[in-house]
Amino acid sequence: MTDVKSDIPSHMIGQPIYVKKNRGAGFWIAVGSASFFFLCSLLLFVLFIGSLFLNRAFIASSTDTKGRIQISETFVEGSGENKIAIIPVKGILTNESAEGLFIEKPSIVEVIKQQLEQANNDTHVKAVLLEVDSPGGGITASDVIYNQIIKFKTGSNKKVVVYMQDVAASGGYYISAAADAIVAHPTTITGSIGVIMPLINVADLINKYGIKDNSITSGNMKEIGSPLKQMTQEEQTILKNIIDELHMQFVNIVSIGRKLDIEAVKKIADGRIYTGKQALEKGLVDKLGYMEDAINQVKELAGLTEATIVRYEKQYGLADLFGMMSRRIFYRNTILFDISQLQEQNTIKPMYLWTGYTSSK
């Protein structure tokens, strides 16, 4: 029999013997997974910190010396030194900026204003094509954009044509009424000429659970529209008068812009939506067609036979790119929504908004 101790050095005799175990596949899988998640977390943290600094340090990369948004031109088609500028008007109309994941997005009102200013200052731009895809939004935002278009037309003597895409309803139609001509896509949904003030009342629900509203007011009308108390007939009358006044403003805008008798507009301005064909029959649009038809309409009004068609787009800086990259990582497989849209639709105030529209952008 072989003595086991004969193979052990003399100085280790009597010492504990440790046997080295081989690491199994499960161990290395666990280590790899932990490392992967650590690196992903580290990357997200770096992106977060980096975008915060870039948003301040490189803000000039997407704005000019006066802090205005830089607008870039993307070639679409055509030739020649004369240009037609396409300005997209998409989504909820709001004059409030929106907080993104890491950056603040300028309001659509501000973006359109600066794009119109650029088209006004560019002597090569002979006309503007507004590409509208919007269910409307705030009454003030809609009216501001409308007046910006009127101001642009008056100050520059340049023509404006609207090309309606999927939806150009309520405030989307309000701003379209400022154009010299409107071309609707055959499948466009438009109209919804009216005002809405969303009011939800939960008074019965809170009373059921014994919840009381002890708000102290300076007058009996201070809580008008509160979801915590039943609305009186007098309060309903006050709010209805406000809605009717804002509705008549909308009716007047359509009457002036479309050169329609005001009584004729009242008959079709009950808030209903129309297809492109129905809108054409009502005189709300000038023709049905596609983008090439809208471009030809602009050329005709501007007296052009040839023109370079360009699309105005916001120029992205480093902070914007980091923000978009981070959102793509965070929300790659989730449903995205615009915070400004959520705020706009849940604010208790009158709106030129078709509430049947749900954005998938």
Round to whole Å and give the CA distance between 52 and 55: 5
Rounded to whole angstroms, the Cα distance separating 14 from 329 reads 59
CA atoms 172, 106, 127, 82: torsion sign: negative
Both tokens assigned to 38: 């650590």
Written as one string, the DSSP assignment of 50-73 is HHHHHHHHTGGGSB-TTSPBPEEE
Instruction: Report the candidate in 289, 288, 280 with the shortest Cα–Cα distance to residue 258.
Output: 280
**Active-site residue 90, yes or no?**
no
Choose the catalytic residue: 33, 35, 79, 222: 222
Asked if residues 317 and 58 have their Cβ atoms less than 8 Å apart, the reply is yes
Catalytic residue, candidates 62, 142, 156, 170:
170
Q: Is 159 a catalytic residue?
A: no
With 0-12 / 13-18 / 19 or more C-beta atoms within 10 angstroms meaning exposed / middle / buried, residue 117 is middle
Euclidean distance between CA atoms 348 and 61, whole angstroms: 37
Active site residues: 170, 222
